[in-house]
Amino acid sequence: MTDQPSRTVATSQSLPLPTPKSSDPARLAADIVDRLTYRIGKDATVATQDDWLTAVILVLRDRVVAKWMESTRETYRREGKRVYYLSLEFLIGRLMRDAMTNLGLVDEMQEALGELGVDLDLIRQLEPDAALGNGGLGRLAACFMESMASVDVPAYGYGIRYQNGMFRQQIQDGWQVELPETWLEHGNPWEFGRRESAYEIGFGGSVAVDDADKCTWTPAETFTAEAFDTPIVGWQGKRVNTLRLWRAEPVDPILLGKFNAGDHIGALRESNKAEALSRVLYPADETEAGQELRLRQEYFFSSASLQDIIRRHLSQFDRITSLPDKAAIQLNDTHPAVGVAELMRLLMDVHGLDFDMAWDITKRTIAYTNHTLLPEALESWPVPLFERLLPRHMQIVYQINARVLKEARATGTFDDAQISAMSLIDEAGGRRVRMGNLAFAGSHSINGVSGLHTELMKQTVFHDLHQLYPLRINNKTNGVTPRRWLMQVNPALYDMAREAAGTDIMSDLDAMQALDTLADDGAAQERFAAIKRANKERLAALTQERIGVSLSPDMMFDIQIKRIHEYKRQLLNIVETVALYDQIRSHPERDWVPRAKLFAGKAAASYHNAKLIIKLIGDVAKVVNSDPATRDLLKVGFLPNYNVSLAEVMVPAADLSEQISTAGMEASGTGNMKFALNGALTIGTLDGANVEMREHIGAENIVIFGLTADEVAQKRANGYDPAEVIAASPELEQALHAIETGVFSPDEPDRYRDLIGGLRSSDWFMVAADFDAYANAQREVDAIWRHPARWQAMAIRNAARMGYFSSDRTIRQYAREIWNVLP
């Protein structure tokens, strides 16, 4: 439906487009009942809330379809260039409110449902949170999809339709327990299955070479990739793009021969193997487990997407050689990097191009976004595994490598160590294919996601490749979509900003600047404070309901929500919380600022320390929350199952946003942007996009502390001794001592012995080194809080100055500087 299938039906271009459906409330109500009756087969008198939700989504989807077809035809007619965003993760969350606001149907739908006696807010909460991602990288892909539609870039997102996305987190006895997320349980009314768009994906087997050096790969196993399309609506319904997710299917669903011979299990083996391919999302930070399946997933979705891209190109244009002029492929991290070799294979083995021509086309078509400098997250695959699964691609990788290393040698400026750093094969300790180097070699653009991260990329991971190809690395600082992360989650603040600006701030977030002039205005401050208070009351109700912790909206809501990882330093936060707890008890007479310390986040299932940190937060919460001495002054809470929907409630309710990663380790962060846009102050390190946020917000409106990235690197190089630092900080020593001797874990006094021992002996993440600076910064935050007018003014300025961090700006930069598409 979204595609122009082939030139032979080009005459269909002259067929009229479907008539847009009415948005009159009475008509909406009638249509909802119609879908309920004829599509779901339910009588309105017995329909469940889930049925109503499905009916409403179907009605909204109908309102999207006409525009979707129009957008697709328009791109076809203009012979325009398309953007293809390849990502193993899309953390899209719920779509109903997104579609409703972008179509401008919120009031109409509210009225229609009112007539039917259905509560919109209630059914909205029933929509499953599509959690096809781990965290920031997947959420970025979702913001980008929405922004590409909003700024009118013709785009397709490509990924995997995981049957079970990110696990559901339960906290049992303080420990994280992972449960499968069953988001497809009630079906997915947003998507259209496209049985006709299916591709064969091979693994293993052998490669034959004929006399003309033409290679033919005969895979040992073959699966089918089947497409499912979800329409993504841009702001004001301007454009509708497609998110195409692949599901793996067996070529033969059942081997009847085996079945009839009585081998009922063997008959379904193919089917089970296929199912595994699109079954679960791999957790981030999972380094060893399930390696082979992960590589299979990466190849599976990269190959299906590239076959689809080439099929679409050839159905409209005659020559494969014009691909770079009509298609821009963006790799979201190295997960689709095997696509470099796959595109080469398709161009050479299927479309008959020679290596040079194929290599030129590949490099002009593909671009790559790097998301991390953490060595353990830089993907590499053992050569034997790669060769066994993808024998033809292994040959191509060697061929590419020979080309790159020849170019490097030809310059005469690199020594052997530099040459081996550039190699696509890591020869040290078991040969491995370096996916980052493969992605770099096969791309015309390699971008980092914040200014600092991009500079560090040049100095570290890609130091030598950058010398060889100095024009390729560029920066594209991340952003977030203001439709979801301001308008939908904080409608009252949105109204206030819109009234101040007098323009459509959702099309131009820079217009939020209008709030700036109101920052010191008493009435504006009062209005802002009332909005924040209402958001805090909503979160307090949720906290009470979910974890039984009661919070007063008079407290400062101090929030750290993000994946649990040592570099993000939830440990620094909770250790400082313990120190504060000690201080309050020692000096009850002081004028303490009441604080609610709130956390949420998932730990990778195999990440021991991250899970221990969750347990520690829970243990500290138990002691602190039940201590009458600190009752109204300090509360600690860990909200389970962090996901987009939970973030949507927590972000607008924050007074203080914790962005305290070890400098040099957070590539950008986007949580930091959501909070500031909603008028929270940031306490943070000079890491990732915090650096640029400080430039835009003004250093006087953000609380920055701690070591810089350079200082962290120096300390690590010079042999930093945490014991010295701890000895010099009595507050820190006291907090660490309490934790490691079981004050918070009397049931198991040694529970945190090793965790704290790690801080004392090596402290890779500089928790001890930054502790005093962090604690002092927190007291500085207290001082600001004691002057409400000052706090409100700073908070308003934060929201006013975040326009730059709209993902619309980011996408326009990609469009101009990488993709060469003109919106």
Out of 335, 466, 674, 694, which one is annotated catalytic?
674
85 vs 2, 158, 306, 323, CA distance in Å? 17, 6, 11, 15
What does the block give as tokens for 419? 């040459």
- The CB-of-169 to ligand PLP minimum distance in angstroms stands at 12
What does the block give as tokens for 101? 């606001």
- The CB-of-479 to ligand PLP minimum distance in angstroms stands at 11
Assess whether 563 carries a catalytic annotation. Answer: yes
- Beta strands 90-93 and 130-132 are antiparallel
Provide the residue type at 29 as one letter. A
**Contacts of 12 by beta carbon, 8 Å cutoff, 6+ apart:** 4
Burial call 146-181: b when 16+ CB within 10 Å, e when fewer: bbbbbbbbbbbbbbbbbbbbbbbbebeeeebebeeb
Residues 631-650 that bind ligand PLP (CB under 6 A): 643-644, 647
Assess whether 674 carries a catalytic annotation. Answer: yes
Return the biggest CA–CA distance within the chain.
90
Assess whether 562 carries a catalytic annotation. Answer: yes
Out of 2, 670, 682, 685, which one is annotated catalytic?
670
670 sits near ligand PLP (criterion: CB under 6 A) = yes
Out of 81, 247, 335, 568, which one is annotated catalytic?
568
CA angle 101, 107, 112 (to 5 degrees): 115
Distance CA 140, CA 662 (A): 21
Strands across the sheet containing 634-638 = 634-638, 595-600, 556-561, 656-659, 681-684, 703-704
Of 671, 679, 684, 803, the one binding ligand PLP (CB under 6 A) is 671
Out of 82, 466, 563, 751, which one is annotated catalytic?
563
- The CB-of-675 to ligand PLP minimum distance in angstroms stands at 9
- The CB-of-419 to ligand PLP minimum distance in angstroms stands at 36
- The CB-of-641 to ligand PLP minimum distance in angstroms stands at 10
Asked whether 562 and 601 are in contact (CB, 8 A), the reply is yes
Assess whether 568 carries a catalytic annotation. Answer: yes
189 sits near ligand PLP (criterion: CB under 6 A) = no
Residues 215-234 that bind ligand PLP (CB under 6 A): none
- The CB-of-661 to ligand PLP minimum distance in angstroms stands at 9
Distance CA 748, CA 329 (A): 53
Assess whether 371 carries a catalytic annotation. Answer: yes
794 vs 206, 517, 592, 682, CA distance in Å? 64, 12, 21, 10
Distance CA 19, CA 76 (A): 19
Distance CA 56, CA 75 (A): 29
Binding pattern to ligand PLP, positions 122-151, x when CB under 6 A? Answer: -------------xx--x------------
DSSP string, 85-108: EE-S-EEEE--HHHHHHHHT-HHH
The stretch among 27-35, 61-69, 226-234, 666-674 that binds ligand PLP (CB under 6 A) is 666-674
**C-beta of 280 vs 633, nearer to ligand PLP:** 280
CA angle 346, 351, 355 (to 5 degrees): 70
Of 159, 339, 669, 679, the one binding ligand PLP (CB under 6 A) is 669
Q: What length is written for the chain?
A: 823
The CB-nearest residue to ligand PLP is: 671
Asked whether 445 and 329 are in contact (CB, 8 A), the reply is no
**C-beta of 2 vs 447, nearer to ligand PLP:** 447
448 sits near ligand PLP (criterion: CB under 6 A) = no
671 vs 136, 331, 545, 660, CA distance in Å? 8, 22, 24, 12
- The CB-of-789 to ligand PLP minimum distance in angstroms stands at 29
Distance CA 88, CA 457 (A): 22
Question: Taking the CA atoms of the chain, what radius of gyration do you get in angstroms?
Answer: 27
- The CB-of-643 to ligand PLP minimum distance in angstroms stands at 5
Distance CA 12, CA 634 (A): 67
Half-sphere exposure of 32 (CA within 13 A, CB side): 30
Nearest to 679 by CA among 552, 523, 530, 547: 530
- The CB-of-184 to ligand PLP minimum distance in angstroms stands at 19
Of 61, 82, 562, 801, the one binding ligand PLP (CB under 6 A) is 562
79 vs 17, 82, 156, 511, 532, CA distance in Å? 18, 9, 16, 34, 48
Provide the residue type at 68 as one letter. W
Distance CA 356, CA 344 (A): 10
Asked whether 629 and 587 are in contact (CB, 8 A), the reply is no
**Contacts of 807 by beta carbon, 8 Å cutoff, 6+ apart:** 140, 143, 144, 146, 147, 478, 479, 480, 481
Q: What is the size of the binding site for ligand PLP (CB under 6 A)?
A: 12
The stretch among 76-84, 386-394, 550-558, 667-675 that binds ligand PLP (CB under 6 A) is 667-675
- The CB-of-674 to ligand PLP minimum distance in angstroms stands at 6
Nearest to 388 by CA among 551, 514, 220: 220
- The CB-of-393 to ligand PLP minimum distance in angstroms stands at 32
Describe the chain by its helix, strand, coil percentages, rounded to 5: 55, 15, 30
- The CB-of-2 to ligand PLP minimum distance in angstroms stands at 27
Provide the residue type at 343 as one letter. L
**C-beta of 237 vs 688, nearer to ligand PLP:** 688
**C-beta of 147 vs 643, nearer to ligand PLP:** 643
**C-beta of 56 vs 644, nearer to ligand PLP:** 644
**C-beta of 2 vs 806, nearer to ligand PLP:** 806
Out of 296, 562, 597, 694, which one is annotated catalytic?
562
- The CB-of-133 to ligand PLP minimum distance in angstroms stands at 8
- What residue ranges bind ligand PLP (CB under 6 A)? 91, 135-136, 139, 562, 643-644, 647, 669-671, 674
User: Catalytic residue positions?
Assistant: 371, 562-563, 568, 670, 674
